[in-house]
Amino acid sequence: MIDTRERILDTAEKLIGEQGYAATSLRQIIAEAGVNLAAVHYHFGSKEHLLDEVVLRKSEPVNQERIARLDLVEASGEPLSVERVLEAFMAPMSETADQNPQFVRLMGRMHAEGLMPGIVERHFQPAIGRFLTVMRKALPGLPEEEFLWRIHFMIGAMAHTMCGAPDYTRVSGVPGSFRERIDRLVAFLSAGFRAPVPRGQKIEVE
Amino acid sequence: MIDTRERILDTAEKLIGEQGYAATSLRQIIAEAGVNLAAVHYHFGSKEHLLDEVVLRKSEPVNQERIARLDLVEASGEPLSVERVLEAFMAPMSETADQNPQFVRLMGRMHAEGLMPGIVERHFQPAIGRFLTVMRKALPGLPEEEFLWRIHFMIGAMAHTMCGAPDYTRVSGVPGSFRERIDRLVAFLSAGFRAPVPRGQKIEVE
DNA sequence: GTCTATACTGAGATAGAC
DNA sequence: GTCTATCTCAGTATAGAC
């Protein structure tokens, strides 16, 4: 059989995006792809490694674009705008998302099943490292510890917004592009990153 | 066997907290609890329902406390402070977390395995509904759609901070209580909720 | 090198005796 | 209420045909 490997990848991407990783058995994938069970283990070694290849194929271009845009922002000269750095990191994701619903579905499944941390560690580290470097330059006055916590808050909000609960758009009636989500998120996060640093046990701003 | 049900619950809570839900088999739970496999299905129906009972036992008091504090804040009279409402919602979680590491571990596992959305839907809805009502009063000028998106961002940041990646505290050297995390998070989110609403395609603040 | 056929181990679930 | 025995289905491993 020609292209056994590609047919497994394509079918796996489709089924895992539709049903999730845990709910999709290798036997279902091989039945729909018309290949033998052992061929999966020959080409990929395990179900987990198969997933890795499926994700890598789609996420690699996004992360390349992220790094390219971050390089551009950094080269534009300081002082860097927090908004611009956030935009450079998030826009490639939203643009891919708006054009490729299947990719969004897949990443949403990964997030919903708690598989994102491992995937991020294996495939997203270079782009994230680049982002941290440039973002740090945009916030020179923020204490390092506070900076890291705020990055942490950002990651949570971003993951939940890009990968989780897309049904929230129903509320307004309009479908709602990812581009719009990102605009809202960037405004929210920029304000958060610029917030005064809390001191002492209780915060008494207001 | 007396107290079969309770012994199953206790053992399940311990093992799932240590190893995760998927990695803990019913056979391992029944071996350590000294009961029969079928007893689990008799008392709980399925592995999933067993997990529900385990989580409910621990999360119910936290959500009760949340509602009580939100009632207090609302009764204090308007205008309500965004910080106070956020504090009322998050403090019970951090206090329980700082006192009960096993509960934190369990919730962290739930989050890491993508089981939180279902748990939230089944057990946290009343407390969240109460929070939304009071929070809305603290932000009367914010458009409804933007309000909902910002709640969404908050949920993501909060889930990631309370349940995910506690190792981030290593960076600073100090252990870092949940109380401290909440203070930082409240400051960050309050600024985000008060950010200007983005209009048009691109944001040009700065 | 690629792939097929088949067997192995362990999971959750269930029927029915006691 | 509890337990024994059994069922189905999962991922994995291996032997050997082409």
Identify the structural domains of chain A with CATH numbers, from first to last: 58-193 (1.10.357.10)
Whole-model pTM: value is 0.90
- The answer to whether B53 and B9 have CB atoms below 8 angstroms apart is yes
Sequence-separated (6 or more) residues with CB below 8 Å from residue B198 = A183, A184, A186, A187
CA distance B33 to chain A (A): 28
* Residue B52 beta carbon within 7 A of nucleic strand C: no
Cα torsion B96, B98, B104, B105 to 10°: value is -150
Residue A177's alpha-carbon distances to A101, A180, A181, in angstroms, are 11, 5, 7
Q: Does A140 touch chain B (CB under 8 A)?
A: no
Q: Cβ of residue A3 near strand D, that is under 7 Å?
A: no
Q: A133-191: per-residue pLDDT in tens? A: 999 999 999 999 999 999 999 999 999 998 875 554 444 545 578 899 999 999 999 99
Interchain CB distance below 8 Å, A160 and B159: yes
B198 interfaces chain A, CB cutoff of 8 Å: yes
**Interface residue B50 vs chain A (CB under 8 A):** no
Judge if the beta carbon of A1 is closer than 7 A to nucleic acid strand C: yes
CA gap A15, A5 in Å, rounded = 16
10-residue stretch averages of pLDDT, chain B, 206 residues long = 87 96 96 96 97 94 97 92 97 91 89 90 95 97 95 94 64 68 96 91 40
Cβ–Cβ < 8 Å for A115, A51 = yes
